[in-house]
Amino acid sequence: MEKDREAGAPPVRLAFRFGYLGDRFGGSQVQAEERTVEGEFIAACIRCELFTDFREARFQTGGRTDRGVHARGQVAAFTTHAPDRAIKALNWQLPPDIWVNGYAEVEPPFNPRYAARSRTYRYYFPPRGLDLHSMADAAQIFLGTHDFSAFARIQGKDPRRTVHSIRVAAEDGLAFIEVRGESFLWHMVRYMAASLLLAGQARISRDDIARHLETGEKCCHTPAPAFGLVLWDVDCGIVFAPIPPDSRTERHLGQLRDRHAVMERICSVFEESIG
């Protein structure tokens, strides 16, 4: 698409796949007193004159992340009369710690939160001193549908969730837990990661995790730190056309992959917090 649609043309609903480094955000959801991912994304759209009111444009994302949590494959959608400008200009208007890397035209009712078939998270940590085989074995306890009261902050929500897949692996000098499900409770993946880290340190067993899952008694006093968590993918059944990354985007993708110094803090912070 070489130019914006002609004046008077019907608006177009666009979905964007995007990522961000969560270190300097107070979470993803718009908040009046905090710098947030959605707040910066909406501000960039307004600077590009893609819309003037995010509510009228029905700006929506595929889910929320907490303070300090990162994303690789989050999805945002909004309606605009200037789709070509959106595709070309958003990366220039977004701050350095947010980038878009794919887009698609979607149907007018599309809402990424409700269209999401599954969400995938990764929790990264340094593999030093951890038995990854024991962690991988213990992780299988979480597969299927369970009451996750022992591994989340419920806040009045239905504690039953379904984990479609989970694995423990290592790449580029870091280990990670990757878990996929339709939806997750608050801090659920971080509590799961905390318990698996303990299993990797031989401080709890596979059977201990199974017992806590069955009884609902908390397995850990605190979730694993937020800065190790990445929203890896939101699957809305969309094929995204790629937006070629600029040098800035490549740099930040590299930072997301190569966070050795930050990840070295995870075990020590976690160990201190559980004492």
Give Cβ neighbours of residue 246 (< 8 Å, ≥ 6 apart). Answer: 91
What are phi and psi for residue 124, nearest 5 degrees? -100, 145
Query: Which letter, b or e, does each residue of 217-246 get, where b requires 16 or more Cβ atoms within 10 Å of its Cβ?
Result: eebbebbbbbbbbbbbbbbbebebeebeee
Give the integer Cα–Cα distance in Å for 87 and 180: 29
Give the integer Cα–Cα distance in Å for 74 and 100: 9
DSSP string, 55-77: TTTT-EES----TT-EEEEEEEE
Catalytic residue among 4, 23, 66, 131: 66
Give the integer Cα–Cα distance in Å for 87 and 2: 10
Burial class, 147, CB count within 10 angstroms (exposed 0-12 / middle 13-18 / buried 19+): middle
- Reply yes or no on whether 66 is catalytic: yes
What are phi and psi for residue 63, nearest 5 degrees? 155, 175
Cα 47 from chain centroid (whole Å): 25
Give the single-character DSSP code of 117. S
What are phi and psi for residue 60, nearest 5 degrees? -145, 150
Catalytic residues: 66
